[in-house]
Amino acid sequence: MRKKHMAIYKTLAAVLSLTLLTGCSQVFESASQPIKAGQTISSDSKWINSDIDGAVDKDTLVSLKDDFHTAVNKEWLLETELDSENMDISNATKAGKILRNRKLAIVKELRTTKEASFESTVEIDPGLLKHDCELVQKFSELAGNWEKRNELGVEPARPYIEVIEEIQNMDDMTDYLLNRSGMNYTGISPIEIGVQKSLSGEAKYEVMITPVYPAEELCLANQDEYSSFSDKGEVYKQTTDGQVWYLLGRLGYSEKEISRILKLCYRFEGRLAELMKSSSQQNDYINYVETADNHYDYEQLLELSPVFPMKELLERYQISDLEDYTVWEPDYIKGVQKLYQSKYLKEIKSYYVVQTVKQLLPLLDRESYDKAVEIEKQLSSRNSNNNNKLPPPTADMEEEQLTEEDEILLEYYFGQYLSGPFDQIYISKYSTREQKEEILEIVNQAVDYYRQMLLEEEWLSEEAREAAVEKLENISIRAVYPNQFKDYRGLEFEAYEENGIATGATLVEAVAAINDFQADRSMEQFGQPYDRDWWDLDVLSATVVNAFYIPTENSINILPGFLCISDFYDASASEEENMGRIGVIIGHEITHAFDSTGCLFDKDGRGGFWYSPKDVVKFQMRVNELGKYYTNIIPYPGATFYNGNLVSSEAVADMGGVKCMLGVAKQKENFDYELFFKSYASLWRCKRVFEYEQIYATDVHPLNFLRTNVTLQQFDEFMETFDIQPGDGMYLEPEKRTIVW
């Protein structure tokens, strides 16, 4: 329970969330194709893939009627230059750099000013904000004091490993699981207990009993790897092996001892994995919920778990003798009873040694941290199949270069362990109530139009239309910052004094305190009404450049990190400009509530079709038509295929966003449609090296120039605004236009 463990429904929410700006992780294998300025994507097209570096020069002739995306963005493309550190420049990457520099400025101020605090521009309790600043300052002292950390070396890890080695029997093992000595660092349990939103329809938090979470609590990160070992599993195994060999070696373990520990750990994890449903079964959300979501009363739960110390764990968290517990995979719970026995004690102990090593390694001295980073980079590069990953944004500031320690604190320690307090500081400094109110006003206008659109949608059955409107009325909106901020004043830890003398805490102990605090706060939610608008910054960080829809919550999320640049949103811009940018993004996310994934979840985010079979067929036919249209497009000169089915869902959302804002525009006098459409085209401007464009051609989002041109082709308002006629490159015959919604 010490880890910020998410219940299964939350995991699925992350898997299923349909982000707007997600990057891609596949490599598109293709021979390098030289790009010439002014070269169209194919002989029968007037479009240029101007996203590619070198595709446009000052002599390139292009008109709004023939290639709207290139014509609108030509000047920006000519002014924008790529280099070795910036091989992909877009509004998203620009916003990412600004966001990073803002965060680094906060780190710098908190590290250099003893009494640093910020005068908030939002409604946050001054005492809460002051405590946030103190927490971040103390944590930065512990994490950034490399001299002291190097002096301590790996010794802070030793007692946490030794307490596991000293376990002699199952009673000792139970004491360790219950953390009676305070030395169970991982908080992992073979059977996890957490508090999450009820899936049964009741608006409350309930106790959930689940298997371990493979991605975080199994070394190979997937239960299937233990029965069918793959290259991906080998990468994770090498990562774990490297971490364990390094740290246990420094702690004085022999090669024979380390080999034994790893062997026994993998053996125990394999036994756990064998009890779990496969990843494909878990990812089949509807069927999984129907078979895995089971309810037991207290006595039934104890009968299900007679050997494993379920009773003691429930008592520890003061959630015993309840009327209802949600149990995922009861067969797994039964199987653990056979494993929680003395004959498997050595395996269980080895599992905890390995998991403890993995968590402690980056919290020790600089050598250990560097080793952890080195191993993590190897995992990232080998696991992504992408050797052309975007370079990290530069950390240059106007006045001076920030120190390497500032970047490490920001990139690893705050984001990993103290994201909530740090995000609240960021929000207090860079967000405003006016900004939130303006974004919410755009959201409300979009929802109002969508309501009318759904009511008038002819292809929907009456039953589906009513369900869709009900779902729309219940969409949860997280915009800019939480309505209520999290109070961290129950979290305390000491830091080093100015002279470097420890006052009783190490970085290892500080992280333990953070994890304990998060676990206790999670358990306090039990029985409380479920707040659909609650925004936990520890789970959903605000300092990310993104906007997205989460189907299992029926929520749209507009993060403040997304609002860093005027190209996404500008309070001083015209209504048409903001509608063409943040407005269509909001409409895009609302559309995801009704797409092929959104239709699997009801107004409360519970699984279950609300489309009738006939509705599904009609919907999919329209989506398929759009997919076919994209498949016939050449994505760049020399390419032979574009996967329209892959991008169809995001393309539908793009069109839904534009249609939504055009619907809002009809209600406004003297609306400047030309400015609106040009603003939309500027939203997707980007410039990247050709190899990157090949990679992005395998992403679920259409390529940027297509997000402009194909989307706008579908609308009469666009054709009329620019007087586009047959023979123009942007013209599309009315019978070929496909707007799903």
Amino acid letter for position 378: Q
CA dihedral 373, 378, 383, 384 (to 10 degrees): 80
Note whether 447 and 590 are within 8 A (CB): yes
Q: Per the domain annotation, does 349 fall within a domain? A: yes
- Taking CB atoms within 8 Å and a gap of at least 24, the contacts of 373-382 are 373/412, 375/239, 375/242, 375/243, 376/239, 378/235, 378/238, 378/239, 378/242, 379/235, 379/236, 379/239, 382/235
> What are the residues whose beta carbons fall under 8 Å from the beta carbon of 537, sequence distance 6 or more?
419, 420, 423, 424, 482, 486
Helix axes 255-275, 231-250, angle to 10 degrees: 140
Query: What is the edge-to-edge ordering of all strands in the sheet holding 205-211?
Result: 191-197, 205-211, 325-328, 293-296
> What are the residues whose beta carbons fall under 8 Å from the beta carbon of 609, sequence distance 6 or more?
286, 599, 600, 616
* 630-651 pLDDT, tens digit each: 999 999 988 888 999 999 999 9
Q: Per the domain annotation, does 293 fall within a domain? A: yes
Q: Per the domain annotation, does 17 fall within a domain? A: no
Structure tokens that stand for 12 in this block: 């699925």
Question: Coil, strand or helix: which one is 377?
Answer: helix
pLDDT at 116: 61
Query: Cα–Cα distance between 430 and 122 in angstroms, integer?
Result: 9
DSSP assignments along 548-599, one per residue: EEETTTTEEEE-GGGGSSTTT--TTS-HHHHIIIIIHHHHHHHHGGGSTTGG
pLDDT at 497: 59
pLDDT at 248: 98
Say how many domains are in the chain: 1
Amino acid letter for position 599: C
pLDDT at 667: 92
Structure tokens that stand for 48 in this block: 């240029």
Q: Per the domain annotation, does 186 fall within a domain? A: yes
Q: What average pLDDT does range 501-507 have in this prediction?
A: 66
Helix axes 345-360, 231-250, angle to 10 degrees: 80
Q: Is the pLDDT at 324 greater than 70, yes or no? A: yes
Pairing state of beta strands 325-328 and 555-558?
unpaired
> What are the residues whose beta carbons fall under 8 Å from the beta carbon of 93, sequence distance 6 or more?
86, 390, 393
DSSP assignments along 133-162, one per residue: HHHHHHHHHHHH-HHHHHHHTTGGGHHHHH
Q: Is the pLDDT at 619 greater than 50, yes or no? A: yes
> CATH number, domain at 274?
1.10.1380.10
Q: Per the domain annotation, does 136 fall within a domain? A: no
Q: By percentage, how much of the chain surpasses pLDDT 70?
A: 88
Note whether 329 and 304 are within 8 A (CB): no
CA distances from 273 to 53, 218, 265 (A): 47, 8, 12
Q: Is the pLDDT at 520 greater than 60, yes or no? A: yes
pLDDT at 640: 82
pLDDT at 117: 61
DSSP assignments along 338-357, one per residue: HHSSGGGHHHHHHHHHHHHH
DSSP assignments along 188-219, one per residue: --SEEEEEEE-SSS-SBEEEEEEE--HHHHST
Q: What average pLDDT does range 621-625 have in this prediction?
A: 91
496 pLDDT band, cuts 50/70/90, is low
Mean pLDDT of the chain: 87
Structure tokens that stand for 214 in this block: 């493979």
SS in 3 state form for 271-320? HHHHHCCCHHHHHCHHHHHHHHEEEECHHHHHHHCCCCCHHHHHHHCCCC
Q: Per the domain annotation, does 115 fall within a domain? A: no
If one counts every other C-beta atom within 10 angstroms of the C-beta of residue 634, the result is 18
The dihedrals phi and psi of 18, each to the nearest 5 degrees, come to -105, 95
pLDDT at 286: 66
Q: Per the domain annotation, does 696 fall within a domain? A: no
Pairing state of beta strands 293-296 and 205-211?
unpaired
pLDDT at 638: 84
What pTM was estimated for this model as a whole? 0.88
Q: Is the pLDDT at 391 greater than 70, yes or no? A: no
pLDDT at 530: 74
Note whether 621 and 17 are within 8 A (CB): no
Pairing state of beta strands 191-197 and 18-19?
unpaired
Q: Is the pLDDT at 453 greater than 70, yes or no? A: yes
151 pLDDT band, cuts 50/70/90, is very high
SS in 3 state form for 49-66? CCCECCCCCCCCCCCCCC
Query: Cα–Cα distance between 344 and 340 in angstroms, integer?
Result: 7
* 111-121 pLDDT, tens digit each: 887 766 667 88
pLDDT at 398: 35
- Top-ranked range on mean pLDDT: pick from 186-190, 284-288, 408-412: 186-190
Q: Tokens 């169209």 identify what position?
A: 40
pLDDT at 403: 65
Q: Is the pLDDT at 466 greater than 90, yes or no? A: yes
What b/e sequence results for 458-485 when a residue is b if at least 16 CB atoms lie within 10 Å of its CB, and e otherwise? Answer: eebeeebbebbbebbeebbbbbbbbeeb
Give the range of the structural domain holding residue 264, as residue numbers without chain letter: 155-363
Query: Cα–Cα distance between 74 and 55 in angstroms, integer?
Result: 10
Residue 504, sorted as left (phi over 0), alpha (psi -120 to 50) or beta, turns out to be left
CA distances from 398 to 137, 393, 401 (A): 23, 15, 8
Q: Within its chain, how far is the Cα of 194 from the centroid?
A: 21
Q: What average pLDDT does range 212-238 have in this prediction?
A: 94
Query: Cα–Cα distance between 242 and 370 in angstroms, integer?
Result: 13
pLDDT at 30: 44
- Top-ranked range on mean pLDDT: pick from 457-471, 487-501, 701-715: 701-715
pLDDT at 626: 92
Q: Per the domain annotation, does 486 fall within a domain? A: no
* 561-616 pLDDT, tens digit each: 889 999 999 999 999 999 999 999 999 999 999 988 888 888 888 777 788 888 88
> What are the residues whose beta carbons fall under 8 Å from the beta carbon of 229, sequence distance 6 or more?
none
CA distances from 48 to 43, 74, 248, 705 (A): 11, 11, 57, 8
Helix axes 433-456, 462-473, angle to 10 degrees: 170
Task: Report the candidate in 89, 134, 92 with the shortest Cα–Cα distance to residue 113.
Answer: 134
* 19-59 pLDDT, tens digit each: 444 433 333 344 455 789 999 999 899 999 999 999 999 99
Of 202-211, 388-397, 612-621, 660-669, give the lowest mean pLDDT range: 388-397
Q: By percentage, how much of the chain surpasses pLDDT 90?
A: 67
Q: What average pLDDT does range 60-75 have in this prediction?
A: 97
pLDDT at 560: 92
> What are the residues whose beta carbons fall under 8 Å from the beta carbon of 607, sequence distance 6 or more?
199, 285, 286, 289, 290, 552, 600, 601
Name the β-bridge partners of 293: 328
Residue 113, sorted as left (phi over 0), alpha (psi -120 to 50) or beta, turns out to be beta
Q: What average pLDDT does range 715-734 have in this prediction?
A: 97
The dihedrals phi and psi of 192, each to the nearest 5 degrees, come to -90, 145
Helix axes 644-665, 584-591, angle to 10 degrees: 120
pLDDT at 118: 66
Note whether 472 and 454 are within 8 A (CB): yes
